[in-house]
Each structure stands twice: as C-alpha cells, then as structure tokens.
C-alpha cells in the first residue's frame, strides 16, 4: 500500500513543475524538481523491495510529510498550498498505519482492511480537493479575464471620450474665433453704413471752422479800418464778434474731433471697459449718425426725428461703443422700417423716429419708436436669432439684434423689450441697471 504515498509525492512534484512551467521561477527549480522526481521513483522501488510493510508506511508518509512541509514553507509554491495541504491526511494516515503495525500488530491484522480503506480514502480526498480547487481556480481565472477585458474596454472608451472631448474643445475654440470675427465684421459693416453719415457730420463743423476763420480775418481788417478812422465803439463791437467767432471755431473743431473719436471707438475691437456715460448724448450722437448715414445713401429720404430726453439722468455705467452699436442698430432698423412703409404708403404718411430716455426705478430706459412697417407676429420670436434678417441678401447680416441682445442682456445685465404691430410701427425698449 506504500505505493500511494509515493504516487501522491510524485504528483505533487509534477503539479508544481507544471504550474511553474511558464513562470520566471522555472529555471530556478527545474533541476531540483527533476531530481526530486527521481528520488521518489528510486525511493519507492528501494522501500518496496527491501523493507518490511510497517517501515514502508513510515518512509512513504515521512517523505510525503517532508515534501508537504517544505512546499508549504516555500514562498514560490504558494499557489499550490491548498493542494499540498490536501495531501496531509494521507501522510497522517500513513503514520497511524505504521504505529499500529509496529506496536499493535494483532489489532492491525484484525482490521487491516479498514486501515487500507483509510489510505484509499485519504488518497481519494486529495483528488476531491484538487477537483474543487481546480474549479475555483478556473472561476477565478475567468473572472480575472473578464475584469481585464472590462478594464481594457473602459480604457478604450476613455480614450475615445478624451478624443471626442479634445475635438469638441477644438471646435468650440474655432467657433469662438469665428464669432469674434463675425462680431468684428458686423462692426465694420455698420461702420461702412456710417461712413457717409460721419462724413456729413464732420463736413458740417469743418465748414463752420472754415467760414468763421474766413469771416474773422475779414473782421480784423475791418477793425483796423475802424481804428484808423477813430471809431473806437465800432472797433470794440467787432472785437466782441471776433471773440465769439473764435469760440465758435473752437466749438466746431471739438465737435469734429468728437465725431472722429467716436468713429475710432466704434471700429475698434471692444475694450469692454465700462465707464460712466451720458445716455442722452450717446443716443443723440448715434441717432444723427444713423440718420445721415441713411440720407447719404438715399438722398430723397427724410424722417422726423423726435427726442424726449429726460433731464438730470444719472450717468449709466456701460461700455459706450457697445451700447452705441446697439442704438445704431435700433435706429438703422427704425429708419429702414419707416422707409419701407413709405414705399407703399400714401403721401400723407410722415416717417417718424422717436427716442425717449427716462429713469424708471433703478433702471434707465431708452425707447426707440418708429411708425414703420412693424414686425409680423410670426417672426417676432425670431428677430433676436443670429442671422435672421428680413432684408434682401447683401443688405443685412442678421446679426444686429442678436449682438444687441448679447450686449444688453449678457454684458450689461439689462433687458430688451419689443412691442410691435404690423403696419403701425415698432417700439424697442432697452433697460439698463443704474
């Protein structure tokens, strides 16, 4: 029966050998393991043919126990620990066999059959254990594999998402650049519309500067004449005129200067710096620019401009060129609307654009009202959308009101309200917090 100990020991070596086969530990143990195999085989034949039965049990179980003991303590064989332990009952049964055979010979002979059964059971136990542990191992292997699979899938997805994110970010950046370009080109377009108005606005003060300088030169000559004649009183009167004229020259020079500055401000990329601003002045300036701009393009066009500027308004903190653009846009729209209506209206129709400023509670209101064509209900919702325009291709960018909305609502925390009735006119109200 000692065959079973050696077989179990042989199988342990085999199993360890197999498990190390593809590991980096393999070279370290290869020689030792094959030596052990031979030792076991030779040991078996040596004990079987030379020793008596009880010592066969002793040697067999001792070899097995030694192998188990060594295997359990060796860290390299840790994965096989449970298999090694499964061999322990066989070693113990072997030892018991030896003890009974050596010291209770009679008892052993009587129940030899049961002792043999015990060996068989202990041996079978090894395989039972081995089968279950194999099953567990298999399950573990599968779940490890599954996890690795999932992990690689997750990583794949993560890379994909990262790529998508990068692409989106790039697109967003591009959109932002395009938007900035669009805003700038809309600005330049409205500047183009303004040029004629600006030219007119500058021409007027320049004419005054020229005319007053000319007349002043004449007056000085006259004053000299009067002084020579001895008419001091007249000379003093002329001097007073000269003084007044010089003031007028200065006034109109400054007026032209202000217009040029305003134009530069309008064309410049917005600095976004809010500063205290006189809304009445701003509204007046842009109303004139818009009106003269349109007049320069269509010389027969005429409209009544009515301003209701509230006096003593507090200064509003705003970006002047941005709000200026908003106003310019509203005025241009108003003039366009009255002009369109004039095309079909009878001779009695008087185009009219009104600007009102007022203080209501804690907000400043600028109301631009016209008696033009009005906005049909079905497009009222759309007028603030970018690129929406009712003008013929090439005449409007469709960005005016949407940019105005951004400027007033987003940049100034204000509000734009629209009231309109088709065929009667429109009213745009801008409310800005003081």
- The answer to whether 215 contacts other proteins (rule: CB under 8 A) is yes
Tell which one of 37, 179, 184, 211 touches other proteins (CB under 8 A): 211
- Minimum Å gap between C-beta 315 and other proteins is 27
Tell which one of 11, 95, 191, 296 touches other proteins (CB under 8 A): 296
Judged on CB neighbours under 10 Å (0-12, 13-18, 19+), 161 is exposed
Alpha-carbon distance of 69 to 85, in angstroms, equals 9
Among the listed ranges 96-104, 145-153, 293-301, 355-363, the one in contact with other proteins (CB under 8 A) is 293-301
- Interface map 299-338 toward other proteins (x if CB under 8 A): xx-xxxx---------------------------------
Q: How would DSSP label each residue in 137-181?
A: HHHHHHHHHHHHHHHHHHHHHHHHHHHHHHHHHHHHHHHHHHHHH
Helix axes 232-267, 279-297, angle to 10 degrees: 80
In terms of CB distance, is 77 or 208 closer to other proteins? 208
- The answer to whether 203 contacts other proteins (rule: CB under 8 A) is yes
- Minimum Å gap between C-beta 280 and other proteins is 17
In terms of CB distance, is 65 or 303 closer to other proteins? 303
Judged on CB neighbours under 10 Å (0-12, 13-18, 19+), 265 is middle
- The answer to whether 345 contacts other proteins (rule: CB under 8 A) is no
Q: How would DSSP label each residue in 300-329?
A: T---EEEEEEPTTPPPEEE-HHHHHHHHHH
In terms of CB distance, is 23 or 207 closer to other proteins? 207
For 254-303, list the strands marked E by DSSP: 275-277
- The answer to whether 92 contacts other proteins (rule: CB under 8 A) is no
Residues 242-281 that bind other proteins (CB under 8 A): 244-245, 248, 252
The first and second tokens of residue 14, run together, are 């085999």
The first and second tokens of residue 191, run together, are 């500047």
Alpha-carbon distance of 201 to 262, in angstroms, equals 12
In terms of CB distance, is 102 or 305 closer to other proteins? 305
- Give the number of residues in contact with other proteins, rule: CB under 8 A: 29
Q: How would DSSP label each residue in 377-413?
A: HHHHTTTTSTT---SPTTT--S-HHHHHHIIIIIIT-
- The answer to whether 348 contacts other proteins (rule: CB under 8 A) is no
Give the binding site for other proteins (CB under 8 A): 200, 203-204, 206-208, 210-212, 214-215, 218-219, 222, 241, 244-245, 248, 252, 291-292, 295-296, 299-300, 302-305
């Amino acid at each position: 029966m000692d065959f079973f100990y050696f077989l179990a020991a042989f199988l342990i070596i085999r199993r360890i050998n197999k498990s190390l086969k593809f590991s980096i530990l393999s070279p370290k143990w290869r020689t030792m393991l094959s030596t052990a195999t031979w030792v076991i085989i030779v040991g078996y034949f040596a004990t079987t043919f030379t020793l008596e039965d009880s010592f066969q049990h002793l040697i067999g179980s001792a070899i097995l126990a030694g192998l188990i003991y060594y295997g359990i303590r060796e860290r390299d064989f840790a994965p096989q620990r449970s298999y090694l332990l499964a061999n322990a009952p066989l070693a113990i049964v072997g030892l018991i066999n030896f003890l009974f055979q050596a010291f209770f010979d009679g008892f052993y002979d009587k129940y030899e059959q049961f002792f043999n059964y015990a060996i068989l059971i202990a041996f079978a136990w090894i395989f039972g254990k081995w089968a279950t542990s194999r099953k567990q191992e298999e399950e573990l292997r599968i779940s490890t594999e599954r996890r690795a699979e999932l992990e690689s899938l997750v990583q794949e997805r993560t890379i994909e998402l990262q790529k998508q994110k990068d692409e989106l970010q790039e697109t967003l950046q591009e959109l932002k650049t395009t938007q900035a370009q669009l805003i700038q080109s809309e600005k330049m377009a409205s500047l183009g519309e303004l040029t004629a108005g600006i030219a007119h606005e500058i021409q007027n003060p320049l004419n005054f500067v020229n005319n007053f300088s000319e007349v002043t030169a004449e007056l000085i000559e006259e004053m000299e004449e009067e002084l020579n004649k001895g008419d001091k009183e007249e000379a003093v009167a002329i001097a007073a005129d000269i003084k007044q004229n010089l003031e007028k020259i200065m006034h109109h020079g400054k007026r032209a200067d202000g217009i040029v500055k305003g134009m530069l401000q309008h064309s410049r990329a917005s600095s976004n710096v809010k500063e205290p601003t006189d809304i009445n002045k701003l509204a007046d300036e842009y109303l004139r620019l818009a009106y003269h701009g349109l007049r320069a393009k269509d010389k027969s066009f005429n409209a009544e401009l009515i301003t209701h500027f509230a006096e003593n308004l507090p200064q509003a903190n705003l970006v002047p060129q941005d709000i200026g653009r908003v106003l310019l846009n509203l005025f241009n729209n108003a003039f366009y609307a009255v002009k369109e209506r004039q095309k079909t209206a009878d001779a009695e129709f008087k185009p009219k654009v009104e600007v009102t400023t007022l203080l209501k509670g804690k907000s400043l209101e600028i109301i631009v009202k016209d008696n033009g064509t009005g906005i049909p209900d079905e497009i009222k919702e759309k007028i603030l959308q970018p690129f929406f325009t009712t003008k013929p291709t090439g005449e409007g960018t469709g960005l005016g009101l949407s940019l105005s909305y951004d400027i007033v609502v987003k940049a100034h925390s204000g509000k734009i309200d629209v009231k309109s009735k088709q065929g009667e006119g429109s009213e745009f109200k801008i409310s800005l917090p003081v």
